Homo-oligomer: A and B are copies of this chain.
Amino acid sequence: MRTDVNTSYNRLAGQSVERLAALSDGVFAVAMTLLVLDLHGPATEVVRCEYDLWHAVVALSPRLLTYLMSFLTLGIFWVGQQTQLNHLARSDRHLTWIHIAFLFAVTITPFSIMLLAEFIRYRLALLVYWINVLLLGAVLYATWGYTVRARLVKDDIPADAPAAICRRIVIGQALYALGASLCVFNTYLSIGFIVLIQINFAIAPRFRPPSRP
């Protein structure tokens, strides 16, 4: 009997794409703003002249860079998730739960990036960050796989879109893995490479403006 109840409930549960999108936007917004709590100004007793303050602000710049990198990472995956959800005709409880797992990985991101900022020369910190990004990518890939398999996609989606979304994730993850593996030589090399990948994803320089009439 319990199976029947569950099946019946499960058919009803988690159908709202809008609510899933709203929860995601909330989680992303909080995660994106959390790290700013780590940006503390210098103690007032340390600063006696403009020069002291200049020094203290400059000393904050690595944290600002980390914060920027965190923002880029979360931005890339927000765009990725948004792109998927935009093409959903409806949701079901399974898709909802895969997305909740995705949001779990999202909320871990501020932590893993903070760890990287504190221990920037340690390979393990880089590894933790990379596992985080891998998790985000893997769950996003699983989401799309389930979406297509369960036929939750809108009818008007371009024919090549499902494949394009999959390839994008695979290529992105391959580049991240390559960047992470560079830590064999040097963690700074890894981070530089990953930041370049992310800026490339954000700016997408190959794009030519649409020539609509």
Contact = CB atoms under 8 A, between A and B. Distances in A.
Interface residues of A, number: 89
A104 B39 CA distance: 14
Interface string A8-26: 1111111110110111011
Given A25-B19, A47-B122, A165 B9 contact: yes
A172 to B, nearest CB: 10
B75 A119 contact: no
A202 interface: yes
Interface in A46-86: 47, 50, 53-54, 57, 68, 71, 75, 78-80, 82-83, 85-86
A125 B86 contact: no
Nearest to A111: B39
Interface stretch (A29-37, A133-141, A188-196): A29-37
A41 B118 CA distance: 8
A124 interface: yes
B164 A8 contact: yes
A16 B37 CA distance: 29
